[in-house]
Structure 1
Amino acid sequence: MNKFTAIVLAAGSGKRMEQDIPKQYMKLGGVPLMVHCLRTFQQSKCTQIVLVVAPGDIEKCRTEIIEKYHIDKCIAIVEGGEERYNSVYSGLQAIDDGYVLIHDCARAFVTTDIIHRCMSAVTLYESCVVGMPTKDTVKLTDDSRKVLDTPERKNVWIVQTPQCFEYTLIKSAYDKVIADADTSITDDAMIVEKATNHDVHMIEGSYTNIKVTTPEDVAFGEAILSFKRQEKT
């Protein structure tokens, strides 16, 4: 039986949110932001969860998040690093096999359907990323903002999380990038692209799988929660 580990990243400072507390602890729909995605992974067919938190926050998250909200699939809480890729690497140290679904906790509205599509796709491709085709025309520019190209919209995707990989593939790719001290990395798929010859496949997520980053996103997030509550009634 395949093992699927969700590495949930909750180690950021959330400066763009302009709040007194890191955004992962900010209440959305009455509970801390990170709880929404943790509950979804808990309810999914995902085998286990590794939660990556800011330095010094392990006990806080254990008592105020994992125990309080009964996230029983959480097998480890580990401290993250200065950059996102450092935090992912910390999470990878807590496991040693299977498949990995790397998810930003700020994407609070991931669904079990998305997670299950990830689980099916990663067993087929070994490397896949959730995203959605862009709704807008995209322009590529140089540093002076002069337009260089307009790519076909149907081929341009907005990347989301989870980003999903066979464990040895992503671990070996991360080992190489960490050893090279490559600071240009912006997501996990980019690490596989740079450090291996393995293809990365896009799989469909959802336009509501937003990343809560700014105060405006909070209002959008509350609207998504309200819509979901209405669907259940």
Structure 2
Amino acid sequence: MTMNRKTAAVVLAGGKGRRIGGDTPKQYLEIGGHPLLYYSLKTFSDSFVDEIYLVCGAGEEEYCSTEIVEKYGFSKVRSIVSGGRERYHSVYNGLRAIRCTCEGDNSDPCEIVFIHDGARPFVTEEIILRAYNAAVENRAAAVAYPASDTVKMSDNAGFVAETLRRDHIWLMQTPQAFDFYEIYDAYSRLIESEADILDRGVLITDDAMVLELFSDRRVKLVMGDRRNIKVTVPEDLELAEFYLKLRKQD
């Protein structure tokens, strides 16, 4: 499949996975005989996306190069980038690597960039395509899933303060897709304003939020999939194994 916009994906694999326990970062834990990170990299490699920029933990670059990229033949991985202290630092490092690479070799500039958590192994090419189409039309798109449970707001004492309208609640997933220069500019502004953001107690939890804070661009929500889980706690590994068995049956 060929698209008329140059695309790149920033795949984040720098998390330590403290909530999942153990010494091995969660993205390298094996399910179905492969590291967790393998599955999202394979999906993006098999898709129409032109290039992949893999962001890993500091000091893990050689491991990712030999044990992930070379071992499984992920030829679309253009660069392996060292991550930062927080997720938003890692995203910024990935975006900056895209810009530096394009400018350095005088190649066509990236137009649409996907940002994806490597700990979401069940992203599909269909989801990537939906995000791409929405980003081309709206310049910003985020994969999400409508909430099915009742959502409550609590007060500081742990009592119910408010019941939110469920029909307006979406649970965010990745990938999120953007016009490259708009999201790069927004992240640059975030890095410049980091001290103020921290002083205000603002927690940056996804990429769409960066546009919310540093741009007037509205982010289009794109239907995701319940199986597109982020492996965070031990129970998620069991669920991922189950989903992988279902995928093989399909």
Identify the TM-score tier after normalising by the shorter chain: over 0.9
User: What is the CA distance between 1:150 and its match in structure 2?
Assistant: 1.6
Match of 1:29 among 21, 32, 40: 32
After TM superposition, where is structure 1 displaced by more than 3 Å over at least 4 residues in a row? none
- In 2, the alpha carbon distance for the partners of 1:142 and 1:179 equals 32
Q: Which runs of 5+ in 2 are unaligned?
A: 100-109
Q: Which runs of 5+ in 1 are unaligned?
A: none
User: What is the CA distance between 1:152 and its match in structure 2?
Assistant: 1.7
Letter in 2 for 1:213: T
- In 2, the alpha carbon distance for the partners of 1:143 and 1:207 equals 31
User: What is the CA distance between 1:171 and its match in structure 2?
Assistant: 0.7
> Secondary structure at the residue paired with 2:72?
coil
User: What is the CA distance between 1:154 and its match in structure 2?
Assistant: 1.4
- In 2, the alpha carbon distance for the partners of 1:208 and 1:62 equals 28
Letter in 2 for 1:103: H
Q: Which residue in 2 is equivalent to 1:187?
A: 206
Instruction: Number of aligned residue pairs: give it.
Output: 231
Query: What is the Cα-based RMSD across aligned positions, in Å?
Result: 1.0
Once the two structures are aligned, what percentage of the paired residues are identical?
44
Alignment of 1:98-113 (within 5 A): 98-113=111-126
Letter in 2 for 1:223: F
User: What is the CA distance between 1:153 and its match in structure 2?
Assistant: 1.1
User: What is the CA distance between 1:149 and its match in structure 2?
Assistant: 2.2
- In 2, the alpha carbon distance for the partners of 1:12 and 1:167 equals 23
**1:178-211, Cα deviation, whole Å (9 max, x unpaired):** 1011342111111100111110111001000000
Q: Which residue in 2 is equivalent to 1:70?
A: 73
> Secondary structure at the residue paired with 2:150?
coil
1:136 corresponds to 2:139: no
Q: Which residue in 1 is equivalent to 2:106?
A: none
Alignment of 1:191-230 (within 5 A): 191-230=210-249
Match of 1:13 among 9, 13, 16: 16
Letter in 2 for 1:43: D
- In 1, the alpha carbon distance for the partners of 2:75 and 2:134 equals 25
> Secondary structure at the residue paired with 2:53?
strand
> Secondary structure at the residue paired with 1:93?
helix
Q: Which residue in 2 is equivalent to 1:164?
A: 177
Letter in 2 for 1:146: F
User: What is the CA distance between 1:3 and its match in structure 2?
Assistant: 1.0
